[in-house]
Structure 1
Amino acid sequence: MNSRRVMWSALGAVALATLIGGAWIFSLPAAPSVDNPPPIAQDERDATIAALKPPKRQRPLVTIIGINDATETTDYLTPYGILRRADVADVVTLATAPGPVTLFPVLKVEPQATIAEFDAQHPDGADYVVVPAMSRDDDPVALQWIRSQSAKGAIIIGVCAGAKVVGDAGLLHGKRATTHWYYIKELRGKHPTMRYVEDRRLVVDDGVATTTGITASIPMSLTLIEAIAGRDKARAIGRDIGLADWDVRHESDEFKFTRPFALTAIGNTAAFWAHERLGIELKDGIDEVSLALVADAWSRTYRSQAVTFAGNGNVRQSRNGIRIYPDQVAASWPAERLLPAIDDRKPAEALDGALQGIGARYGTRTTDFVAMQLEYPRRRATQ
């Protein structure tokens, strides 16, 4: 099942059903609750950090696995970029097969190794394996490799709907876990012994960690830095990426299928004549986390698709060594469809800027619609 073409196909079906006569849409809640969740108790914080301590090496080895034909953009690039920025671990992006990894909904990158190459170089396995959302939850090669890494003692971290991949690898039996709000019911139905934990962006249980939706990759990465190198280092990196205040608390009731969410999907999809391709200039040294967040957000409006362009077809190397293929060869892009240069913008600020730009271009309902897909708390998205 191509589960990562996510709500896109599902909401397309919603739109069609409603246009045909789905009056049921008006039974959906008008809006989710938006409250500030209570602070995390210190003993819970300490237990989370202890459970994420490096299991093998003093300087741990972190891998991020993707399948070549579609792996979620932010899930794949954000942990890499933040951990590399911190320089507290060796971090490598992997693919199940040779060749580039097509990210979804945007970007194409060159992985740094295949899983076979990694295994040959590191027969004892990684310390951490980050599992993004993938186009298939049941890719046999990915599942076997994840299971083998767990057996070698690696901590497995399912980011967003990557929890479904971890579940299909057989690693959620009897464990506490979470996932993207859109997939909670599916995950619980498929893995009935799993115990869903609400109001947490990160849940750790016996060598397996899972997160809520896409932007939870940011606090997850900072929590991992804290487990490896201490709170002060994590705070410093948080400030460096524009997120001075962070933890794993979450308001789960803020994220649910609502009437405005469905109606925005319907309206934006129906306005096909106004759909746009918006350009992002791809430059050497671009921050891969800022790029991922901005391109991901603009590609989830149902009104626009972000496209990277460069003056030639050569790959560009990001700030921390990711090789990115431009989508189009072009010396420039029409000014009215050119997204602001990312340059040195801090990732959290770049995302907030993208959401503000989406609101200015398409309205606040589309901003909320994108933030809901990213599972990005409104208390930040509306600042």
Structure 2
Amino acid sequence: MSVLKALTTLVLSFGLIFTATASTTAPTPDHFAPYAAPHGRARPVVAVVGHNAGTELTDFVIPYAVLQRSGAVDAFTVSLQPGAMQMRPALRLQADTDVRGFDARFPDGADYVVVPAVVRRDDAQLLAWIRAQHAKGATIVSICDGALVVANAGLLAGHRATAHWATESHRREHYPQTTWVANTRYVVDGRLASSAGISAAIPTALALLESIAGHDAALQVGAGFGVRDWSTTHDSDAFKPGAGNLWPLLKLNATNKWFHPTERLALPLTPGMDDVALALTADAFSRTGRSTAYGVAATPQVRGGSGLVWLPDSAQPADTKHRIDVIATGAALPLFDAVLAAVEHRYGRTTARGVAIDFEYAWSPAAR
């Protein structure tokens, strides 16, 4: 979810000073129930659903890739309609199937449905499909402001949930029947689960994987991202506009756009590439206010290492100055840190800090 533009307008117009406010303390750590094979399947079926008009890139890619890499589930990318999905803030994907095709193949429904943030969170068809999946027994897992989609589907009333820090006031005002929990990475309430901002997708997906395939499986997959902890421990309040955060947020949403031309940065799409690293690289650079990323390949489609099918925006290679490569890292450095370090190298620490706040990621940049 992008930090609300209204924040910048208020600050610039009225010179307001924002301070973090106290929020509900997180409850004791939540756990997904062990997979019980309600449909008699040896492996659970997971549907990661997106809206063709716009789906948050990292919210969508991370849960799919984490679960798919484990080899413990049958994961499917599902679009609302046939055709390409426009991801936000960058790139395009072709889903495995659309909701009608998924229903035809799995009339009993999915075991788990992952719901990322989308641009049309009140789309009647999407809401009806999520409700139907839940009625068939699926556990619904929202990522970031995918919780607003699930709330609009009427499933969160009377339940605990969480989402991106920036929508807290909106959620409490418009969905008062939901107990919105702050300062937690994710909340599990029966067959409903929700995560905090974008970076919480990895720990949430690992917690789900642990319930399906065990701790060792989650540990092995997490190590590939440099992640060894997927507890609920998290401080959402640390990201709210305050003395330490105001300038980085203004940098992203105002001064970078006003005083710098926007670069178009080509990202080469190559077969077998790391889908998560690609998504994070495109997402981070396209949030800076300084650049937008686009996919480049000579072929109409490119299949990534986790099985995602990427659709290039252009077949034309870019000059070196206007090209970035997918950020790669090993287990020694968390992937988010590596991507933010690349943003810092190109646009400076304040901009990288703003992206980290938007990702709701506790970034500790290396000393210079």
Q: Which TM-score applies when normalising by structure 2?
A: 0.91
Deviation track 1:315-359 (CA, whole Å, cap 9, x = no partner) reads: 11111221111111123x222232134467679744322211211
Change (3 A) 1:141 1:225: same
Aligned to 1:351: 336
Matched, 1:185 2:173: no
Residues 287, 344 of structure 1: 8 Å contact kept: no
Structure 2 stretches lacking a partner, 5+ long = none
In structure 1, what is the Cα distance between the partners aligned to 2:165 and 2:44? 31
Superposition pairs of residues 9-24 of structure 1, within 5 angstroms: 10-11=4-5, 13-15=6-8, 22-24=13-15
Query: Counterpart of 2:267 in 1: which secondary structure?
Result: strand
Aligned to 1:361: 346
In structure 2, what is the Cα distance between the partners aligned to 1:246 and 1:349? 13
Instruction: Give me the identity figure in percent.
Output: 37
Residues 93, 309 of structure 2: 8 Å contact kept: yes
Normalized per residue, the structure richer in helix is: 1
Q: Shift of residue 51 of structure 1?
A: 6.8
Matched, 1:327 2:313: yes
Q: Shift of residue 194 of structure 1?
A: 0.7
Deviation track 1:212-250 (CA, whole Å, cap 9, x = no partner) reads: 011111001100110001111111111122213332210
Aligned to 1:50: 33
Matched, 1:150 2:163: no
Letter in 2 for 1:270: W
In structure 2, what is the Cα distance between the partners aligned to 1:192 and 1:278? 42
Query: Counterpart of 2:15 in 1: which secondary structure?
Result: helix
Aligned to 1:294: 281
Residues 281, 339 of structure 2: 8 Å contact kept: yes
Aligned to 2:223: 239
In structure 2, what is the Cα distance between the partners aligned to 1:288 and 1:117? 24
Residues 53, 120 of structure 2: 8 Å contact kept: no
Superposition pairs of residues 11-160 of structure 1, within 5 angstroms: 11=5, 13-15=6-8, 22-25=13-16, 27-29=17-19, 44-45=28-29, 48-50=31-33, 55-56=38-39, 57-160=41-144
Query: Counterpart of 1:217 in 2: which secondary structure?
Result: helix
Aligned to 1:269: 257
Change (3 A) 1:160 1:382: farther
Change (3 A) 1:348 1:201: farther
In structure 1, what is the Cα distance between the partners aligned to 2:146 and 2:254? 27
Letter in 2 for 1:373: D
In structure 1, what is the Cα distance between the partners aligned to 2:345 and 2:37? 44
Q: Which TM-score applies when normalising by structure 1?
A: 0.87
In structure 2, what is the Cα distance between the partners aligned to 1:17 and 1:167? 28
In structure 2, what is the Cα distance between the partners aligned to 1:372 and 1:347? 22
Letter in 2 for 1:304: S
Residues 32, 188 of structure 2: 8 Å contact kept: no
For the aligned residue pairs, the C-alpha RMSD in angstroms reads 2.4
